[in-house]
Structure 1
Amino acid sequence: MSAEDVIKAWDQPEARGAVHPTRGISEDAYQASGHAQAELLAADIPAGAKVLDFGCGDGRVAIPLRAMGYDVTGADASPRMLAALAERDPDLATFQSDGSDFGKHLGRRKFDAVYCLAVLIHHDYGTGEQLVENLRAVTKKGGLLALDWPVSDDPSDGHGWLGVTTWARERQDEIATRLKMERVDADRPWSVWRAL
């Protein structure tokens, strides 16, 4: 699926319930999952770091991470999601982007850490690879990237915004080598990379 297709699907009224599996349980469970993920990120990202949350949605992870003292900027392609985030935390810096236009919004600004959770899994290989390249480009040398970029012994393009795209580890490693990223050994539900 292309970025445009994902954005259109995301902005449909029925998408709100499909944003995260815990939303089907309760709003409290949904918010608690964001706090838990923010705590995991904080275990890897230095205190007070400048952080980009790409695919920030309604701020489920960005808001608790900012409350921990991080300088968080949220970016999302969906104006609806950014509006929902602004309702919850109007002071959190955000910008609308599908990941192809960071220079327009950031100029030469780079981040100590970038995380992208539950985004790459919705995109086809070409779009996913381009997103990883663009995220790496806004990460400082020595900075961290936390990417929900799953590998599989039987990789496949998820074919639809609720499908999950998985990658061959060899292909992922080729991309990482080209982009000067080194895998960090971390026991997380996502992969962690250091920008070289």
Structure 2
Amino acid sequence: MTTVHPQDVIDAWNQDGAAASIHPTRGISENAYWASGQAQAELLAQDIPAGAKVMDFGCGDGRVAIPLRDLGYDVAGVDASPRMLAALAERAASLPVFQSDGSDFGKHLGRRKFDAVYCLAVLIHHSYEAGEQLIARLRAVVRKGGLLILDWPTADQPAEASEWIGVTTWSPDQQDNITTRLGLVRRDLDRPWAVYQA
């Protein structure tokens, strides 16, 4: 099996036509695509305290970050793809963003921490090793008591993606081992993603 490296994903998102692959609703219509982001922002707002400082890691073109900001959150968008950040800036130039793959947060943030960090449709593209490293880096920028929200699907037979657009799935034991080691406690919520408290 071929291992997908983080740079493979970054390079893929910078190719022409990658934006068409960003979310299944984009194949339906642009309105459906942006409505899906609004719905996810509203669901995130059920768990993230009002007015919180929030990082959207893997923000892409702002599908979720823009409506979350419009709900009154202090949102910073972070993505490894300059093309995605440029697309976000076309829609919401005032939303603060920076380019990062997660390995250089100190350069961009110093000691700044967030009340909540969410990472949707990112971990699915990475290997277990790269995903675990990224989760540890995201945890490091969440303040004590803050939330880390991860979209990392489970499966009865978990497997790593073999290409950038593939889907890596995790076993509950893998997830528990990583989050326990990082001092994260899963909140018992019925969401399409996992919500952890630091």
Query: Partner amino acid for 1:101?
Result: D
- Give ranges in structure 2 of 5+ residues lacking alignment: none
Distance in 2 between residues matched to 1:46 and 1:173, nearest whole Å: 25
Write out aligned runs for 1:12-161 (5 A): 12-161=15-164
Distance in 2 between residues matched to 1:16 and 1:52, nearest whole Å: 21
Q: Which moved more, 1:154-163 or 1:111-120?
A: 154-163
Distance in 1 between residues matched to 2:195 and 2:43, nearest whole Å: 11
TM-score (norm. length: structure 2)? 0.97
Distance in 2 between residues matched to 1:162 and 1:105, nearest whole Å: 28
Distance in 1 between residues matched to 2:145 and 2:156, nearest whole Å: 30
Distance in 1 between residues matched to 2:7 and 2:66, nearest whole Å: 26
Q: 2:9 is matched with which residue?
A: 6
Query: Partner amino acid for 1:114?
Result: V
Counterpart check, 1:173 vs 2:176: yes
Query: Partner amino acid for 1:157?
Result: E
Identify the match of residue 184 of structure 1 among 179, 182, 187: 187
Q: Which runs of 4+ in 1 moved over 2 A?
A: none
Query: Partner amino acid for 1:134?
Result: R
Distance in 1 between residues matched to 2:25 and 2:191, nearest whole Å: 19
Q: State the Cα distance separating 1:89 from its structure 2 match.
A: 0.5
Distance in 2 between residues matched to 1:25 and 1:157, nearest whole Å: 28
Question: Sequence identity of aligned pairs in percent?
Answer: 70
Query: Partner amino acid for 1:41?
Result: L
Query: Partner amino acid for 1:2?
Result: H
Alignment root-mean-square deviation, CA: 0.6
Distance in 1 between residues matched to 2:21 and 2:105, nearest whole Å: 27
The 3-state SS of whatever aligns with 1:74 is strand
Q: State the Cα distance separating 1:14 from its structure 2 match.
A: 2.3
